[in-house]
Amino acid sequence: MHLPSKRPVFFDPNNKRWPKVKAGALLAAVLVSAVLVALVVSVLVNPALESLSLPAARFLPRPNHLSPPLPVETPAAADARLAKLKRTLAKEIKANRHSPPVARNAPTQPYATKAIGFFVNWDDASLSSLKKHIGNLDILIPEWLHMVDGDGTIREDSPDKTREALRFIRSSRPDLPIMPLVNNFIDMTWRGDLLARMAASSEARARVVAALLDFVRKNGFAGVSLDFEDVPPKAQKNYLRFVTELSTAFHNEKLAVSINVPAEDPAFPYRAIAEQVDQVIIMAYDEHWAAGKPGPIASLPWYVKALRPRMADIPAGKLVVALGSYAYDWPKGKPAEEVTFEEAVLLAKESESAISLDPVSLNPHFDYDDEKDVPHNVWLMDATTVLNAMASALPLQPAGFALWRLGGEDPSIWTFFGTDWAPGAEAAARLEEIRFDYDLDYEGQGEILRIAQTPHIGRRSITYDGKSRLITGESFEVYPSPYVIERHGFTPKTVALTFDDGPDPKYTPRILDILRQTGAAATFFVIGSNAERNPELLRRTYAEGHDIGNHTYTHPNIADVSTTQLTLEVSATQRLFESVLGHRTHLFRSPYGEDSEPETQDQVRPLEILGKQGYVFVGMNIDPNDWRQPGVDAIVEETVRQVEIGEGNIILLHDGGGDRAQTVAALPRIIEILRGKGYQFATVSELLGQTRDTIMPEAKNENPLVALGTRIGFFLLFAWSAGLQYLFILGTALGLGRLAILVTLAVAEKVRGRHKPVSDQADKLSVAVVVPAYNEEKVVLQTVQSLLACQHPAAFEIIVVDDGSSDNTYAVVREAFAGNALVTVVTQPNGGKPSALNHGIGRTKADIVVTLDADTVFTRDTIMRLVAWFADPKVGAVAGNAKVGNRINFLTRCQALEYVTSQNLDRRALTILDSVTVVPGAVGAWRREVVEAAGGFSAETLAEDADLTIRIQRMGFVVAYEDRAVALTEAPDTMRGFLRQRFRWMFGTLQVAWKHKDALFRPRYGLLGFCGLPNIWIYQIFFQLISPIMDLWLAYTCLVSAVMWMWHPASWDPDSFQKVVFYYALFMAADILAGLVAFFLERSEDKLLLVWLVPQRFFYRQLMYVVALQTFVASLRGREMGWAKLERKATVDSRRFTDT
């Protein structure tokens, strides 16, 4: 059983983490030291206090916080550069033509394996996706038409958007077949009633057919795609008649018809429909839908089950499988909101939730609480679900696959969709890199924008199962991030008048006159070519105190121009400002309002390009459309209405670009009305909280630290004291709660007597014992002899795997058992314990594999006690009862106590909860097929046994505990050996906990996620770190109380001292009681060990604290950890125990 090697958890091969940690620790130490010095200085030096006169505080960012400074240039050089820029700009405009994208991964497969994409007008990201991936598509189905009433009226959706998309398609892929989609989705509702009325009327049916034919003919499309949903059962017959009539009409003109149908609908006439149309597109998603209960959108079992019946009704040459890539976000008790893949991932990132792949449905999901503490359950379909779905459907030989929808999908889908791909590990590996290609993240309020953060690539780890040819595991290691855009400028009851497209010699002077008369300042976004013709108006605008912004030189649609032209447009205008005014500007507004409020990453391009040059984008949410000349009253009323409903702070008007008489007439009324309603007028620079000189810079070239340290120092002292106190309380509460629960559950487990008798069925199971051995020549023969002495089934074998020992382990076993057919000894190059175990398991076909360490001795009935549990097919593994067999000194006796009072008591309690977290390497049994399905023992952690135990339970199998299956193991008898072993155990446990953190508090994992794994995090990791604080706080309290009693006996209050001592004593008493109960449950144990119980508790707590700190540091260092082989001394006394 050979597994691909994986990087160990926490391993940092490039050693990047630890230097950063050390630097951070050093910086923290320096800062704390500085704070303490400042605190000491402030205490020793008496400050001279003066009367205070504090001005009103207002935060004004420095100019370089707003944007980088612009370069300095002389006026003569500026004029020369302006002339050159104008010439270059003219050439760029003439040469700039739309260049169609190269068809990346263009499909070369025949028509029978089509890649189809659904496109929508209502999301700009859909066009962005189409522009990126049009080369991957064989057919495009755009949602452009709706049937809006029962008489068959067809309405085109957003004709302007349709024309924009068509312009791109015709210039990029003129041969791409387009089949516009028509549906009955109106006002966010599927109108099955309207469909029924239309289908029942011959006139209405004819009207729909004629309208669709006309639309398709007029635009030269390949056909039409029907998506009529919620068809009433009584309307199915009429609907079939409609489909037949439409198909006949289209086929007569050699046009194609496709139809989108539900994956599962008993009333739907699949066979009859398939006979009429060219393609039947099975919508293989919405197993759980928005209005229903949360769950997988298309679990793989449901998907496969839904597809198979359709193959009987629909010829393979007509069947197209539609796959979804989107998400549903279900607030508790409410219908879900459909969100895109990128929106879902951003939700997970911002809520710090972990997306995990459900092992049953193979659909990713996560949970989070919103700002109102409402729980949300999110299920999504990403590239892994689409890849799995396509791989699962390939044996059915469908005609093709369709993707719902462009713009909402996981961009990684395009690494295989519409390409010459094949299922396999290579295709799966290409999904590991995650990008945000479409969505944006806005922060703040206002209409003035700048980029705060550019996108970052994320990564996910993919687990690909070659046997099933499916992705079975997915973990988002680093979330991707989109553009983060800051909003600025929101100011209540304040508006900024802005004017575009000037200066105009007729209208700009009149607007300037009105502004001067009313005392209102404004911001003018100037076209460079107009300013060049009217420089005096530009000077007057600036001289009268108004802001001036850049509106490009020739007023192009910046979404359609090249980066070079955009830069030249803005640079030429900027140089003009320098030449005429001697000033520059940080303000930019795009012509036509294009991309002033980007919705997709494509639209961010100008903002990113110009942002790097120091510009901020100024939007305009209040737009009365004065350029349409709707009338003076309409301009006034619409402006005031939008201001009052809170649309924004910035009003868009125009002083050039046409007849602006209505704007001029409306302006004084707008100012008067808004002032009467309490609004103030400001420039854009004032909205930003900046001076005009900051926004339009000239084109030329007592000690506060000690005070701050004092405040921080006192805060740290308070935090230290309070932190110790709260940690003491928390540690006490956690300890008492754990002991109460463990004891109760352990006793309940004993009372219930969950033992399995050895049955005939167990005797029929074949058993292999795998003994991994590395330098075990001193102990391995005793181990094998104890196994041969055990009761066992007829089909039984022992496999000793020598893991490249440097001693004579392999030779002594081979020589000692050369004539024994039950014993096989093999050797391999040193690869570690997981490798040796997997090697042994790979050499057997036994039903059950028993594993133990080479220094461990089994009692006579241990094997059969373990095997008895596997008569239940739900049992995947069984843990035995490990005991210390070499109780030769204080340290080993303390370990013997720990095995009984901690490890085995825990295992008893967790057994009743079906959440055992480790089948110990010293004594455990595993169902071989389950181990292989789980991927075997992994080298990702040092606790390979715990890792496999949890993986098996996550697969849905039970892990049992058999306390009568006793194994005697050799415990370290030196402090050095003990610390090395415990470090390996705790580090491995931390690795396992981190690896399986995605299972925490996940209902599908039952009590494992709610009890077993939290038990590891809280009690095996966190509690080990804070438990010594109980001793520290007790000592601190005693010391403080003693000092107070000695020096201030009159004011000494013993209350806090008494409380601490009481709770500490209560915890210790409960701990000792739990130990007594543990021994009561194991009656064969040596009761004399209890003598060491109290000192063991103090002794162990300090040692485990040291180990916990070492573990935490090691996880940060990121070094690869070895197995720290312990010296074997063959000190196990097998006579100490008899069969129990």
DSSP string of 302-339? HHHHHHHHHHHHS-TTTEEEEEE--EEEEETTSPPEEE
Go through the domains of the chain in sequence order and give each one's CATH number. Answer: 1-43+725-1140 (3.90.550.10), 111-325+381-432 (3.20.20.80), 489-695 (3.20.20.370)
Of the candidates 315, 320, 321, the residue with the CA atom closest to the CA atom of residue 271: 315
Comparing 258 with 1015, which gets the higher pLDDT? Answer: 258
Residue with tokens 């390949």: 222
Which amino acid, 597?
E
Q: What is the DSSP letter of 165?
A: H
State the Cα–Cα distance between residues 1012 and 958, nearest whole angstrom: 13
State the Cα–Cα distance between residues 211 and 252, nearest whole angstrom: 16
State the Cα–Cα distance between residues 906 and 949, nearest whole angstrom: 15
How many other C-beta atoms can be found within 10 angstroms of the C-beta atom of residue 429? 12
Q: What is the DSSP letter of 379?
A: E
User: Which parts of 121-264 are beta strand (E)?
Assistant: 139-147, 154-156, 181-183, 185-186, 189-190, 223-227, 256-262
- Range with the largest mean pLDDT of 212-216, 771-775, 1116-1120: 212-216
Q: How many residues does the chain have?
A: 1140
State the Cα–Cα distance between residues 819 and 788, nearest whole angstrom: 13
Of the candidates 6, 9, 15, 22, the residue with the CA atom closest to the CA atom of residue 990: 9
Contact (CB, 8 A) for 651 and 622: yes
- Whole-number pLDDT of residue 1059: 77
State the Cα–Cα distance between residues 1108 and 1111, nearest whole angstrom: 5
Contacts of 1007 (CB under 8 A, 6+ apart): 913, 914, 915
Contact (CB, 8 A) for 137 and 222: no
Comparing 984 with 255, which gets the higher pLDDT? Answer: 255
DSSP-derived secondary structure for 792-859: --SSEEEEEEEES-SSSHHHHHHHHTTT-TTEEEEEE----HHHHHHHHHHT---SEEEE--TT-EE-
Statement: residue 1123 has pLDDT above 70: no
Residue 902 in 3-state DSSP?
Answer: helix
- Whole-number pLDDT of residue 42: 47
State the Cα–Cα distance between residues 947 and 968, nearest whole angstrom: 23
**What is the SS3 string spanning 540-606?**
HHHHCCCEEEECCCCCCCCCCCCHHHHHHHHHHHHHHHHHHHCECCCEECCHHHCCCCCCCHHHHHH
Query: Which ranges of 58-115 does DSSP label H, i.e. alpha helix?
Result: 63-66, 75-95
DSSP-derived secondary structure for 1072-1096: HHHHHHHHHHSTTS-GGGGGGHHHH
Residue with tokens 């005793």: 782
Residue 88 in 3-state DSSP?
Answer: helix
Q: Does residue 405 have a cis peptide bond before it, meaning omega lies within 30 degrees of 0?
A: yes
State the Cα–Cα distance between residues 989 and 942, nearest whole angstrom: 8
Statement: residue 74 has pLDDT above 90: no
**How does residue 1134 score in pLDDT terms, banded at 50, 70 and 90?**
low
State the Cα–Cα distance between residues 436 and 604, nearest whole angstrom: 13
The pLDDT > 90 percentage for the chain reads 58
How many other C-beta atoms can be found within 10 angstroms of the C-beta atom of residue 767? 26
Of the candidates 213, 207, 273, 264, the residue with the CA atom closest to the CA atom of residue 239: 273
Q: What is the DSSP letter of 903?
A: I
State the Cα–Cα distance between residues 326 and 122, nearest whole angstrom: 15
Residue 884 host element (H or E): strand 875-884
Query: Is 654 considered catalytic here?
Result: yes
**How does residue 180 score in pLDDT terms, banded at 50, 70 and 90?**
very high
Of the candidates 508, 518, 531, the residue with the CA atom closest to the CA atom of residue 653: 508
- Whole-number pLDDT of residue 356: 94
State the Cα–Cα distance between residues 817 and 836, nearest whole angstrom: 20
How many Cα atoms are found within 13 Å in the side-chain-facing hemisphere of 319? 23
Comparing 66 with 385, which gets the higher pLDDT? Answer: 385
Contacts of 728 (CB under 8 A, 6+ apart): 1029, 1030, 1033, 1060, 1063
Burial 639-663 (b: 16+ CB within 10 A, else e): bbebbeeebbbbbbbbbbbeebebb
Statement: residue 81 has pLDDT above 60: no
Q: What is the DSSP letter of 769?
A: E
Contact (CB, 8 A) for 853 and 984: no
Partnered with residue 154 across adjacent β-strands are: 147
Statement: residue 1031 has pLDDT above 60: yes
Residue 400 in 3-state DSSP?
Answer: strand
- Whole-number pLDDT of residue 958: 94
Residue 650 host element (H or E): strand 650-654
Residue 522 in 3-state DSSP?
Answer: strand
- Whole-number pLDDT of residue 1128: 64
Catalytic residue among 124, 329, 500, 963: 500
Comparing 100 with 753, which gets the higher pLDDT? Answer: 753
Query: Is 376 considered catalytic here?
Result: no
Contact (CB, 8 A) for 420 and 337: no
- Whole-number pLDDT of residue 713: 59
Q: What are phi and psi of 958, to 5 degrees?
A: -95, 140
Statement: residue 439 has pLDDT above 90: no
Cα Rg of the chain (Å, integer)? 38
Statement: residue 413 has pLDDT above 70: yes
Statement: residue 161 has pLDDT above 90: yes
Contact (CB, 8 A) for 115 and 138: yes
The predicted model gives 542-558 an average pLDDT of 93
The pLDDT > 70 percentage for the chain reads 87
**How does residue 1110 score in pLDDT terms, banded at 50, 70 and 90?**
confident
Contact (CB, 8 A) for 775 and 744: no
Q: Which of 40-54, 123-137, 728-742 is the least confident region? A: 40-54
**How does residue 377 score in pLDDT terms, banded at 50, 70 and 90?**
very high
Contact (CB, 8 A) for 334 and 345: no
Partnered with residue 464 across adjacent β-strands are: 471
Catalytic residue among 376, 488, 654, 792: 654
- Whole-number pLDDT of residue 498: 98
State the Cα–Cα distance between residues 46 and 39, nearest whole angstrom: 12
Q: Please state, rounded to an integer, the average pLDDT across all residues of the chain.
A: 86
Task: Give me 293's structure tokens.
Answer: 């209960």
Q: Model confidence over 976-989: pLDDT tens digits?
A: 888 888 889 899 99
**How does residue 712 score in pLDDT terms, banded at 50, 70 and 90?**
low
Q: At what angle do helices 124-133 and 601-611 cross, to 10 degrees?
A: 90
Q: What is the DSSP letter of 179?
A: -
Contact (CB, 8 A) for 636 and 669: yes
